[in-house]
Amino acid sequence: MDLAAAQHILKTTFGYDDFRPGQQAVIEHVMAGENSLAIMPTGGGKSLCYQIPALMFDGITVVVSPLISLMKDQVDALNDSGIPATFINSSVDWPDIQERLAGLHNGAYKLLYVAPERLDSAAFLQALGQLPVDLLAVDEAHCISQWGHDFRPSYLALSTAIEQLPTQPQVLALTATATEQVAADICQQLRIDPQNEVNTGFARDNLDLTVVKDQDTDRFILDYLKVNQGETGIIYASTRKEVTRLTTLLTRHHVKAAAYHAGLSDDERRANQEDFLYDRIQVMVATNAFGMGIDKSNVRFVIHAQVPGTLEAYYQEAGRAGRDGLPSEAILLYRAQDLQIQHFFIDQSERDESNKQREYQKLQVMSQYANTQGCLQQFILAYFGEDSEPCGRCSNCRDDREAQDITVSAQKVLSCVVRLRSRFGKGIVAQVLTGAHNQRVRDNHLEELSTYGIMSGQRQKSVGELIDFLTAAGYLQSVGGQYPTLAITQEGASVLKGETQVFRKMARKAKRLAPVDD
């Protein structure tokens, strides 16, 4: 391809001297006429990967994006840079659509942004078929996969739509969040040769990951905002009720905050979002309804007051901090009982049974993320199939507590799991180890086990935490979805044989934050 031409556009139209990692490779694939997939972190610069080719092609580039609320802003920004673009979504009325289509016919626009729902309409596809479409850019492409965390049924219409277009446009799929499985699914559905995948990796070097366990949420957040006065951020919670509660708390403590969740009217949401985008408020307290495509560059922190349902969702939400490349923080406030809320969401969802089991398993990964003592970034990257070194910045890498040899306790837990023949979950294992008396234990004759009560000096909760640690560290695995049972892994077996020692950083006493009492 004409690299000089692409570079010229980069400089003159967008005002940048150099391509960001991956951009050139993606543009090369596109200009070579190949269907391709770009995986780049949030803020990595995915838009240029189709905007520059759009300016180099003779015809039109259609951008499929679920971010209806942002389309107008995106198109306005392009027009301001002298790039003729328009959009068609549910906010545009029919006469206006006709006018825009006529403009597209006459070569008045290089880019057309559409919502995926448009492609369900035969009339719209018919109209699109009359246009010289060279390239179809599919933004947030992970939405096409049922394996992903944000599946949208209307994305399924894409592959049929592409087939029906007489110009047979080539496809560029883009996403910031795709496990290997999701990437494979995108490639399969959109007919992308996996060789044409450009993956710059998921690491975000300006994002410091932190897990804070079992602290008072309100106190933590208020203290954090005091120390980081004036910084802009997002606080995510799982339920509307908790969003409302936290917003009230912050407002009462003179923090400029607003709420965002699906229970608010469109107008309220729009107003709050704009207040946040234009820095009229400091903190947005929100459910996961807020965020996809929020192009606010100076978000300095993202705090999850409650654990989200999957690591993909977590990393995507956390990744909204620091799009400008400046140091930023992503903090997960973790309490094991918050997993129950997500459990409930899965249980109540209209997914089929195997789908539910998969979601339960994804939730267990969140528990492992919160309980690992290894590098948090490394944990996330490994989840996305990427090898990496410890980041040196996350709360675990910064944790300077001395690790203690807990091999003997680990052996007690592991042998109990073996004695229970991997038939029971964490609760029962902890009860047996601590020698609990209850019906379930009696019914299963568990008092007769040799490991019954061998940790009777300890509380069930702390044995439960030890089990979580051993699971996150890979000595135990939890098997199954909704009611997982524990089994030992190969590493666990080697601990039992005395071949491997287990080390754990132990909690320092005290240092609990006092709750907020007003």
Nearest 5°: phi and psi at 248? -60, -45
How many angstroms separate the CA atoms of 253 and 74, rounded? Answer: 35
Our finding on whether 24 is near ligand ADP (CB under 6 A) is no
Our finding on whether 331 is near Zn ion (CB under 5 A) is no
Tell me the chain's radius of gyration from C-alpha atoms: 26
How many angstroms separate the CA atoms of 499 and 492, rounded? Answer: 10
Stretch that binds ligand ADP, among 43-51, 56-64, 184-192, 352-360 (CB under 6 A): 43-51
Beta-carbon contacts of 68 under 8 Å, excluding residues fewer than 6 positions away, are 89, 90, 91, 115
CA 302 centroid distance within chain: 12
Beta-carbon contacts of 150 under 8 Å, excluding residues fewer than 6 positions away, are 140, 142, 143, 292, 313
Interface residue with ligand ADP, options 29, 46, 362, 504 (CB under 6 A): 46
Which among ligand ADP, Zn ion, none contacts residue 44 (Cβ within 5 to 8 A by kind)? ligand ADP
**DSSP letter string, 310-342:** -HHHHHHHHTTTTTTSS-EEEEEEE-GGGHHHH
Which among Zn ion, ligand ADP, none contacts residue 394 (Cβ within 5 to 8 A by kind)? Zn ion
CB of 42 to ligand ADP, least distance (A): 4
Reading the block at residue 319, the tokens are 């990744």
Q: Which of residues 306-365 bind ligand ADP (CB under 6 A)?
A: 323
Nearest residue to ligand ADP, using CB?
Answer: 45
Our finding on whether 42 is near ligand ADP (CB under 6 A) is yes
Our finding on whether 20 is near ligand ADP (CB under 6 A) is yes
Kindly compute the dihedral angle of the four CA atoms of residues 200, 68, 303, 344, in this order, to the nearest 10 degrees: -100
CB of 312 to ligand ADP, least distance (A): 15
Interface residue with Zn ion, options 397, 441, 513, 516 (CB under 5 A): 397
Query: What mask, x for binding ligand ADP by CB under 6 A, covers residues 270 to 299?
Result: -------------------------x----
Interface residue with ligand ADP, options 6, 48, 114, 284 (CB under 6 A): 48
In eight-state DSSP terms, residue 402 is P
Which among ligand ADP, Zn ion, none contacts residue 428 (Cβ within 5 to 8 A by kind)? none
**What do you get for the CA distance between the two ends of the chain, in Å?**
65
* Residue-level length of the chain: 518
The one-letter amino acid at 291: G
Stretch that binds ligand ADP, among 13-21, 54-62, 241-249, 385-393 (CB under 6 A): 13-21
CB of 162 to ligand ADP, least distance (A): 22
**DSSP letter string, 72-141:** HHHHHHHHHTT--EEEESTTS-HHHHHHHHHHHHTT--SEEEE-GGGGG-HHHHHHHHTS-EEEEEETTG
Which residue in the block uniquely carries the two structure tokens 């015809």? Answer: 59
Interface residue with ligand ADP, options 1, 7, 16, 59 (CB under 6 A): 16
> How many Cβ atoms from other residues are within 10 Å of residue 387's Cβ?
8
Phi-psi region of 254 (alpha: psi -120 to 50; beta: other; left: phi over 0): left
Our finding on whether 292 is near Zn ion (CB under 5 A) is no
Which among Zn ion, ligand ADP, none contacts residue 375 (Cβ within 5 to 8 A by kind)? Zn ion
Reading the block at residue 350, the tokens are 């209209």
Which among ligand ADP, Zn ion, none contacts residue 22 (Cβ within 5 to 8 A by kind)? none
Which among Zn ion, ligand ADP, none contacts residue 397 (Cβ within 5 to 8 A by kind)? Zn ion
Nearer to ligand ADP, 40 or 243 (CB): 40
Our finding on whether 375 is near Zn ion (CB under 5 A) is yes
CB of 44 to ligand ADP, least distance (A): 4
How many angstroms separate the CA atoms of 108 and 96, rounded? Answer: 15
Closest-CA residue to 236 (of 255, 261, 214, 216) = 261
Nearer to Zn ion, 375 or 486 (CB): 375
User: Contacts with ligand ADP: how many residues (CB under 6 A)?
Assistant: 15
Our finding on whether 394 is near Zn ion (CB under 5 A) is yes
Stretch that binds ligand ADP, among 15-23, 99-107, 284-292, 425-433 (CB under 6 A): 15-23
Interface residue with ligand ADP, options 44, 169, 322, 464 (CB under 6 A): 44
Nearer to Zn ion, 9 or 394 (CB): 394
Reading the block at residue 91, the tokens are 């906010």
Nearer to Zn ion, 377 or 431 (CB): 377
Interface residue with Zn ion, options 283, 391, 430, 473 (CB under 5 A): 391
> How many Cβ atoms from other residues are within 10 Å of residue 264's Cβ?
18
Interface with ligand ADP (CB under 6 A): 16, 18-20, 23, 40, 42-48, 295, 323
Interface with Zn ion (CB under 5 A): 375, 377, 390-391, 394, 397
